[in-house]
Amino acid sequence: MRRLPGALAGVLLTLAACGVQPADQPQPGVSPASSGLGTPAVESPADPGATPAPGATVGTPGEVPEEQRFKLDDVAEFDDGLVIEIAGTVADKASKTDQGAEATDGQIVIASIRIQNDTKKPYDAEGVLIGATYGDGKDAQIIIDKTDELQSGFTKKIKQKAEGIATVGFAVPWTELEKVTIIVDPNDDVHEAISFTGRVHRD
């Protein structure tokens, strides 16, 4: 598990507050749970008024800084107790009720995003933005499911000490399953966007 202060903190170091320390102060390193190797120090969050990353649109997450990128099987924990992970992924075929996978001939990736709320108050997950890319950064179209078996995100608040799971589909050609990235942007003033990258297997 990797710890995040409003953004990232090291596994053995926890920041006192949920905000990132000023840039002129030493920043803690980050240690992935799987390797234990340090990664670059945490940087200050981007200027809220900055131009969105190329390809980003209103309502979709933008580019994630390198130090906030995780492996697909990592668990990310913010220092206020908010935990985010990809609970599972699978490559599948779109059903007749799914829209958005026409360009990939119905080939999709389904990801279950889990948020555990161990903070001190209910967490409003409705504003969380979820996106995906594949290969060298191609945007993956989100799947619209008329039956709501696949969602576009979280639909309600998560109570303290409770969890919420959103199962989201994206149009991804099976030839690109070697590198799929799921982006989760809490879209609030405390937590920064993170991403999870890895190989997705077919069912």
Task: Write down the pLDDT at residue 71.
Answer: 97
Question: Does residue 67 belong to any structural domain of this protein?
Answer: yes
Task: Write down the pLDDT at residue 43.
Answer: 32
Question: Does residue 114 belong to any structural domain of this protein?
Answer: yes
Task: Write down the pLDDT at residue 22.
Answer: 34
- In this structure, which amino acid lies at residue 187? N
**Residue 113: which CATH number?**
2.60.40.1240
**179 contact partners, CB below 8 Å, separation of at least 6:** 134, 135, 197, 198, 199
Task: Write down the pLDDT at residue 62.
Answer: 59
Quote the tokens at residue 106. Answer: 């119905």
Question: Does residue 60 belong to any structural domain of this protein?
Answer: yes
Task: Write down the pLDDT at residue 59.
Answer: 54
- For residue 100, give the nearest of 159, 150, 163 by alpha carbon: 150
**16 contact partners, CB below 8 Å, separation of at least 6:** none
Question: Does residue 203 belong to any structural domain of this protein?
Answer: no
Higher pLDDT, 42 or 96: 96
Strand partners, 197: 71, 181
Residue 92 and residue 174: Cα distance in Å, rounded? 9
Higher pLDDT, 47 or 11: 47
SS3 content of the chain, % helix, strand, coil (to 5): 5, 35, 55
> Taking the chain, what is the end-to-end CA distance rounded to the nearest angstrom?
26
pTM above 0.85, yes or no: no
- Structurally, the chain folds into a number of domains equal to 1
Task: Write down the pLDDT at residue 66.
Answer: 87
Question: Does residue 127 belong to any structural domain of this protein?
Answer: yes
Task: Write down the pLDDT at residue 184.
Answer: 97
**Per-residue exposure over 45-64, b if at least 16 CB sit within 10 Å of its own CB, e if not:** beeeeeeeeeebeeebbbbb
Question: Does residue 87 belong to any structural domain of this protein?
Answer: yes
- Residue percentage of the chain with pLDDT more than 70: 70
Task: Write down the pLDDT at residue 1.
Answer: 59
Q: What is the pLDDT of residues 16-71, one digit of tens each?
A: 333 333 333 222 223 333 333 333 333 333 333 333 333 333 356 757 888 899 99
**44 contact partners, CB below 8 Å, separation of at least 6:** 20, 22, 23
Please give the residue range of the domain that contains residue 110: 2-198
Q: What is the pLDDT of residues 117-169, one digit of tens each?
A: 999 999 999 999 999 999 999 999 999 999 999 999 999 999 999 999 999 99
**Per-residue exposure over 119-130, b if at least 16 CB sit within 10 Å of its own CB, e if not:** beeebebeebbb
- For residue 194, give the nearest of 9, 87, 30, 62 by alpha carbon: 62
Q: What is the pLDDT of residues 175-193, one digit of tens each?
A: 999 999 999 999 998 999 9
Q: What is the CA radius of gyration of the chain?
A: 17
Higher pLDDT, 59 or 72: 72
Measured between alpha carbons, how far is residue 91 from residues 111, 148, 170, 174 in Å?
Answer: 9, 18, 10, 7
Task: Write down the pLDDT at residue 24.
Answer: 36
Task: Write down the pLDDT at residue 11.
Answer: 31
If DSSP codes are grouped into helix, strand and coil, which group holds residue 126?
helix
Task: Write down the pLDDT at residue 8.
Answer: 44
